Amino acid sequence: MPLHRGPEERDERPRSMNPFFGEANPVVEMTEAPPRHRLPTGPMPPATACQLVHDELMLDGNARLNLATFVTTWMEAEARSLMAECNDKNMIDKDEYPRTAELERRCVAMLAHLWNAPDPQSVVGCSTTGSSEACMLAGMALKRRWARRNADRYPSGDARPNLVMGVNVQVCWEKFCTFWEVEARQVPMEGDRFHLDPQAAAELCDENTIGVVGILGSTFDGSYEPIAELCAALDGLQERTGLDIPVHVDGASGAMVAPFLDEDLVWDFRLPRVASINTSGHKYGLVYPGVGWALWRDRNALPEELVFRVSYLGGDMPTFALNFSRPGAQVVGQYYTFLRLGREGYRAVQQTTRNVARGLAERVEALGDFRLLTRGDELPVFAFTTAPGVRAYDVFDVSRRIRQHGWLVPAYTFPANRQDLSVLRIVCRNGFSTDLADLFVEDLARLLPDLRRQPRPMTRDKQAATGFHH
């Protein structure tokens, strides 16, 4: 077959010389849409494809005004540029991208120091796609350690392990228990206690308990669970029964807040019973999604048989993950942020965020229609409900109406034993400024007169109305 066609074989149909052909045709592009659920027949100009996607995405909410999410919605231009350089680097190819792998190791080492590991050199850890994967890995390690301890007692492997946690845990822990066939033993809420009670958690433990999960802090209201008190209760249990139950700290958010703002709070590897900790780099670690981190106190806390040594593209590589390929961009973004801010920079950012949360909580309370459950003085997060005298509307009406101003604020009902309580929750993040907080309060105050004139709350199916997944 000839590489070049002669003049007589060439397609002489008009192309770019026609000003109304292809991407220059304003009529076709406004009246003809590509198929949505099957591949188009042929290609289209890149500018046209970009515009079609861009126009549809305009109908999404504004991420900066999303007060529901913990996930970072703003980073510096320099960070975005570095991450763009690394979108095509696969984190699993550590031989091919050795410097990206080295930045991951440095981040683990930095977190080991930040979380007060007795011997940072002994800590083992890895990056993940987020805290959900990190929690799965931590749970797998707890289960395998339990199986080792009980190999002689249950040689047939017919005992069912259990994991103790508060009912306020993030849904990833329920997934872990379902996927890995572990019984979830949950401590319910009681009265004004909206998270785990240490003594109640200890009472749920037995010889089949693989561990107890403590949350720093709760997604329901932003409060820290008392990790030191939990460890003390388990110390007492060991003295009475001989049961040695490890603790995993789910620090998805708080593990990147408490080290900077609550240095005297003991929750981390300073507690000998804490075997592992996870956090979300893409939450208060200040990196775009998705990156998480899981660290174990030492190699004994992470059974060696869970670490795969893969011969891949010419190198022997240890890996502990649920997935394989993922971009290196977020790990690079995390290292940049660690390097850029340092301890004092993180302290300044997190303190400012907490100040905004506390100030906003006070202004919401001052409106008179709401009662605060928390005040943003632990995580920069606070939850509030309607005041006792408010009968014309509920929190679901507020969530629906404030969305008309562009603000996304979740409304949801608490779990057992506080299903009677429905709240709104506001998450303050880096980039949510005092000016934006002022605008939010103004919009909230502006809609209250209409809400007060309602004959009754408008929402009927309250759970469906929120679309909220903590």
pLDDT single digits (tens) 291-313: 999 999 999 999 988 887 766 55
**Reported pTM:** 0.89
CA distance 148 to 145: 5
Answer yes or no: are the C-beta atoms of 280 and 129 closer than 8 Å.
no
DSSP for 152-172 reads TT-TT--PPPEEEEETTS-HH
Query: What pLDDT, on a 0 to 100 scale, did the predictor assign at position 149?
Result: 87
Residues present in the chain in total: 470
Which residues are within 8 A (CB) of 309 and not within 5 positions of it... i.e. 6 or more apart?
Answer: 316, 317, 318, 319
pLDDT, greater one: 13 or 100? 100
Q: What is the DSSP letter of 287?
A: -
Cross-strand pairs, 90: 327
- pLDDT confidence bin for 19, thresholds 50/70/90: very low
Q: Residue 237's Cα: distance from chain center in Å? A: 32
Burial of 209 from C-beta contacts in 10 A (0-12 / 13-18 / 19+): buried
Q: Which residues are within 8 A (CB) of 271 and not within 5 positions of it... i.e. 6 or more apart? A: 227, 228, 231, 247
Residue 350, token pair as written in the block: 């997190």
What value does the mean pLDDT take over residues 13-42?
A: 62
Beta bridge partners of 296: 124, 276
Average confidence (pLDDT) over 172-186: 96
> For residue 262, is pLDDT > 90?
yes
Q: What is the pLDDT of residue 42?
A: 87
Highest mean pLDDT among 41-50, 238-247, 452-461: 238-247
Say what the pLDDT of residue 27 is.
53
pLDDT band at 30 (very low <50, low <70, confident <90, very high): low
Mean pLDDT for the stretch of residues 8-28: 47
Q: Could you give all domains of the chain from N- to C-terminal order, each with its CATH number?
A: 79-337 (3.40.640.10), 364-466 (3.90.1150.160)
Structure tokens at 179: 């996927």
* Residue pLDDT, tens place only, 121-176: 999 999 999 999 999 999 999 999 999 988 777 665 578 999 999 999 999 999 99
Residue 36 is predicted with a pLDDT of: 87
Share of the chain above pLDDT 70, in %: 88
- The residue to which tokens 């969530």 are assigned: 399
Q: What is the pLDDT of residues 101-129, one digit of tens each?
A: 899 999 999 999 999 999 999 999 999 99
Strand partners, 444: none
Backbone angles phi, psi at 28, to 5 degrees: -60, -40
